[in-house]
Structure 1
């Protein structure tokens, strides 16, 4: 059984993500590698907008490192599209967060691409030792959390 294509209503937060001329490939559509840039940008903008990106040099701070990514393509996007990036959180663990993303072309209800990535919180000094997800991050992500039955 194939998985259904995500709809806009499946996501909790949206951010416009302009495509760039250099994102195109020789076939005239957005290259597959660019989608990971869009995913990372969407999450980074959400976190930065809430003051949740501490500088790595802050004593006792933690960093979120990506340990897993996935992207599934449903239809092409093109330059100069401005994609609507939909964001939700499927799971918040002790030291990890699974973000799920849907990218939508203007006027389209179904995602042209969907994916996820997993952040693991690590000690900023060692960048190896896992640490708990900070409470401020848990609080900010609570509004994005979807019930397990809805998560991909």
Structure 2
């Protein structure tokens, strides 16, 4: 797996507070990097504040496979691609790469599922058109209805 497998590489810096007692980024922080990269990319790609849409993406599922250690002050790039674009959900495939300046080292891979729900009722609704338009170019497998 390489960074070339991901149409988006979103920068996410490590922070001093991300390191745990053992001197590396704590495992739960990887999930924060996924969340930050996906939502920052969505805001950038749609040109809108996604919090103001009538439907919001809630995280229904997430996973992470740890491959290599990262530590502050590493600079990271989170690879983003979409494995499935459904009616009300988006399944993201993600990868965290340590940016060494002249190369990228894979540190983790993961998944992240957004289910779009009505902001008031929290019932599933179709993905907002502005989100779907931004997501479609990142689909790497056939979309399901």
Give the TM-score normalised by structure 2. 0.89
The residue aligned with 2:136 is 142
Q: Which aligned runs of 4 or more in structure 1 are off by greater than 2 angstroms?
A: 107-110
Structure with more strand by fraction? 2
For structure 1, list consecutive stretches of 5 or more residues without a partner in the other structure: 1-5
- Residue 79 of structure 1, CA deviation: 0.4
In the TM superposition, what whole-angstrom CA distance separates every residue of 1:23-62 from its partner, at most 9, and x where no partner exists?
Answer: 001111110000011000001111111215042xx6xx11
Tell whether the 8 Å contact from 1:23 to 1:30 is kept in structure 2 after alignment: yes
Tell whether the 8 Å contact from 1:83 to 1:105 is kept in structure 2 after alignment: yes
For structure 2, list consecutive stretches of 5 or more residues without a partner in the other structure: none
The residue aligned with 2:57 is 64
- Residue 106 of structure 1, CA deviation: 1.4
Aligned residues, how many?
A: 138
Trace 1:30-41 onto structure 2 (pairs within 5 A).
30-41=25-36
Give the TM-score normalised by structure 1. 0.85
Structure with more helix by fraction? 2
Rounded Cα–Cα distance in structure 1 between residues aligned with 2:71 and 2:51: 34
SS of aligned partner of 2:99: coil
Rounded Cα–Cα distance in structure 2 between residues aligned with 1:130 and 1:124: 10
